[in-house]
Amino acid sequence: MSVLADLRNLSSKEYYKNALRIRKELELYLTRDFAKRALKHNISTVAKQINDADKVILNEISSKYMPDDFRIFKIDTPKDYADAERKYLINLCREMTSNIVSADSIYVGPNMHKSDLIMRRNYQNKALAACYKLLEELYEMQEMYPTELNDMNKLLGLLDNEYDLITGWRRSDNKFSGKA
């Protein structure tokens, strides 16, 4: 007999599984979003050869048939900057996942050494800090760049959940430190 999803407990290592979901969604989001910007950049190099009257006609066509955030002759982000931003976000995600794995590799139990508990807590704190930095960067991106809100909201929701999962994971370790 199966248990309803609402009544199930979180599986062990849900914080890790959620971090992997975040990485997947982030890479999909950045690939789609920054691919559009690269396309705009490539079109803009050709646009220098088109006369002004034709640019007006092309912009009218694009505004009629393309999304509002897509304008052929208005480039707002240099490709190098977009690539650097993408690399920074992916590195933050890797840092978060790496610290989760490092913290989880330290044995937790009633007979663990205090130094191990402190090291585990430090890794958890670093994972939490990377999660928070990633969340803040995405909020800033949402403000600065035209984004698809459904994609961004899913990612922000996963990050909010990750923050809660890591915080709960840290709290569960308090029983071994005598803070329970």
| Structure tokens that stand for 65 in this block | 């048939």
Asked if 140 and 165 touch (Cβ cutoff 8 Å), the reply is no
- Predicted pLDDT at 54: 80
- Predicted pLDDT at 180: 46
How buried is 103 (Cβ within 10 angstroms: 0-12 exposed, 13-18 middle, 19+ buried)? buried
The structural domains of the chain, ordered by start, are 18-38+77-177 (1.20.1440)
Torsion of CA 119, 132, 175, 123, to 10 degrees: -10
C-beta neighbour count of 127 within 10 angstroms = 28
Among 87, 123, 117, 96, CA closest to 22: 96
Question: What are the helix (H) ranges across 145-178?
Answer: 149-172, 174-177
Q: What counts of helices (H) and strands (E) characterise the chain?
A: 6, 0
List per-residue pLDDT tens for the chain, 180 residues long: 454 545 445 557 899 999 999 999 988 888 776 545 444 545 555 656 777 788 778 777 777 776 655 554 444 556 677 788 889 999 999 999 999 999 999 988 778 888 999 999 999 999 999 999 999 988 887 777 666 666 678 888 999 999 999 999 999 888 877 654
Residue 103's SS3 state is helix
Q: What DSSP line would sit under 17-33, residue for residue?
A: HHHHHHHHHHHHHHHHH
pTM of the model: 0.69
- DSSP letter at 160 equals H
Q: DSSP 3-state helix, strand, coil percentages of the chain (rounded to 5)?
A: 75, 0, 25
| Structure tokens that stand for 69 in this block | 């955030």
